[in-house]
Every structure is written in C-alpha cells, then in structure tokens.
Amino acid sequence: MSDSANGHHGRSAQEVVEQLRLEFVDELTETLQSLDVEMDAARNGRCDMRKLVTDCRRAAVQFRGQAANFAMHRLATVAHRLEEYLANTPEVTPPRIWDDLAGYFDLMIRLAQGKAADTDPAALVRALPAKLGFDLGDIEIRNVEVLLVMPHGAQTRFVERELQQCGYRVSLMADSLRAFAMVVETKPDLVIISAMMPDLEGIDLAMALSAMPSTRNIPLAVITSLDKDDDILKLLPKRVPVLFKGASFADDLFKALDNLFLI
C-alpha cells in the first residue's frame, strides 16, 4: 500500500473519530440542558426529586465513560464527581443542591466544548462542591482531597466516614487502573489504597506512585487485612504507612494522618 493511501486512511479515521466526538458533545449538551429543565421542575414541585437524581447519575456514568474514550479526561473526572456527589442523596435534599447541580452542568458543558481546557485538574476538583449524604453539622470542610482506592463495600464506607469526620473531601475509585490516571491528573492530598485490588494490585499501585517523579511527593497509605509480617508488605517504601483492618484501625489512621501532617 502506498504512503498516500496510508495517509488517506489515517486522515479518514481521524475524521471519523472527530465526528463521533462532536456528536458526543452535542448529546452531552442536549442532555444537560434537558436535565436543567427537569431540575427547575423539581425545584418548583412539578417533578419527582428521586427521578431527577437517578437521571443525573445515569447521565454522569454514561458521560464519564464516553469522555474517557475521547481522552477528555477533565470532563470524565467531573462526571465521576457528579455521580459521587449524588450517590448518597438524602430524602430531604439541602437547598444547596440546586446551585451545585447547575454548577456541574455548566462546567461539564464548558469542558465538553473546550472552553475550560486549560484549567488545572487539581484546582478543578477542589472547586467542586462537597458531596451530599453526610451531615456536616459543625464539621468544617477542609480543602484536603483524599482519594480512596478501594472496592465498594461496608469497609470502604466506614473509612470514608472516618475521613469525612476530619473534614476531608473524599472521593472513591474502585478501579485501581483508573485510579492511577486520576492520581497523576488531579494530585490528591492523600491516597489510601487497599492492598488487594483486581487488575492492578494496591501494593503495585502504591509502589508505582511512590517511585514516579510526578507523584512521589503525594502522601500514600495502604489499608489491609494481611498480617503485619506478610512479605508483600515489606515491598512497600518505609515512608508508606500501613493501616490494618480491625480494632486498631482508627488509631492507625489517626497516627498516619498525624505523621503525614494532615491533622
């Protein structure tokens, strides 16, 4: 096949991908505009709030995957945060939900249309609202981003609550491969990783993040139910604290946060 033919097919493939990307941007814009109308109806009692939440979460999950396919990483991250924001929506929603959702919709449209492409991802996530479902009470929300790389479950929810009690903004990623990219992009203030994860083991992820120049200064901790003398834990850098599941967990967590200067 000639070089000109190769070039022709290459350009054609790029054109197809670009056309698909533009169609995705149009779909996202139309969907979010429709959700904005639905939100206004819910705000005025003309639409069921639970339906709005479900529709928003469904759209967020859909757009997260599609944005990642087109390497629109900032958009994928914000879509992930929107789904998390709504994951534990209480029956009685706080008044802030309306402005929060409007802000998410506007930001996602601007990101999709390339109007906020130069925004620093780390600053982007820190400007997003704290997620629903946690009674803030007198707790002051601190500008500290914590990423939990753990499977979904009761243990993860417990760890999340403990960190929220400290006023931290907590995000969860149950996929260690995706978590790797998210850490590189958003630079959280602390990453807590389950030692045993599917696909990419948590120990491997912790070792990689500790070694890379772009992430080695990000505080890490590993959480595990392994015995403290297990050989695999000896592979971790000495500066990475290990949190053991069980009665001592809360004390281990407090000690780790103190040593990492996060409390």
Q: What is the pLDDT of residues 107-116, one digit of tens each?
A: 999 999 998 8
Average pLDDT taken over every residue of the chain: 90
pLDDT at residue 137, rounded to an integer? 63
| Residues 113 and 160 placed together within one structural domain of the fold | no
CA distance 101 to 82: 8
20 lies in which domain range? 1-119
Classify residue 64: in a domain, yes or no: yes
Classify residue 129: in a domain, yes or no: no
Classify residue 79: in a domain, yes or no: yes
Question: 104 pLDDT exceeds 60?
Answer: yes
| Residues 214 and 178 placed together within one structural domain of the fold | yes
Where among 70, 89, 119 does a domain terminate? 119
- At 233-242, the pLDDT tens digits run 999 999 999 9
| Residues 115 and 197 placed together within one structural domain of the fold | no
- At 154-202, the pLDDT tens digits run 889 989 988 988 889 999 999 999 999 999 999 999 999 999 998 899 9
Classify residue 126: in a domain, yes or no: no
| Residues 61 and 151 placed together within one structural domain of the fold | no
Q: Which residue has the tokens 């087109």?
A: 70
Question: 248 pLDDT exceeds 90?
Answer: no
CA distance 60 to 81: 8
Confidence of residue 251 (pLDDT cuts 50, 70, 90): confident
Compute the residue count for the chain.
Answer: 263
Where among 62, 95, 119 does a domain terminate? 119
| Residues 139 and 249 placed together within one structural domain of the fold | yes
Classify residue 107: in a domain, yes or no: yes
Q: How many degrees, rounded to 5, is the angle at CA 250 between CA 245 and CA 251?
A: 105
| Residues 108 and 154 placed together within one structural domain of the fold | no
Question: 105 pLDDT exceeds 80?
Answer: yes
Classify residue 51: in a domain, yes or no: yes
How many percent of the chain have pLDDT more than 90?
70
pLDDT at residue 43, rounded to an integer? 95
Output the six-digit token pair for 61.
């999950």
> DSSP secondary structure string, 64-82?
HHHHHHTT-HHHHHHHHHH
Classify residue 128: in a domain, yes or no: no
Classify residue 82: in a domain, yes or no: yes
What does the pLDDT average to over 77-98? 94
- Exposure of 126 by Cβ count < 10 A (0-12 exposed, 13-18 middle, 19+ buried)? middle
- Short-list 77, 27, 76, 85, CA closest to 56: 85
- Short-list 99, 100, 104, 102, CA closest to 80: 104
- At 33-57, the pLDDT tens digits run 999 999 999 999 999 999 999 999 9
Task: Tell me the CATH number at 188.
Answer: 3.40.50.2300
CB distance 159 to 150 below 8 Å = yes
| Residues 228 and 142 placed together within one structural domain of the fold | yes
What does the pLDDT average to over 14-39? 96
Give Cα 40 to chain centroid, integer Å.
27
Number of domains in the chain: 2
Where among 119, 151, 180 does a domain terminate? 119
| Residues 102 and 178 placed together within one structural domain of the fold | no
| Residues 68 and 152 placed together within one structural domain of the fold | no
Question: 2 pLDDT exceeds 60?
Answer: no
pLDDT at residue 185, rounded to an integer? 93
Backbone φ and ψ for 39, nearest 5 degrees, come out as: -65, -45
CA distance 164 to 142: 10
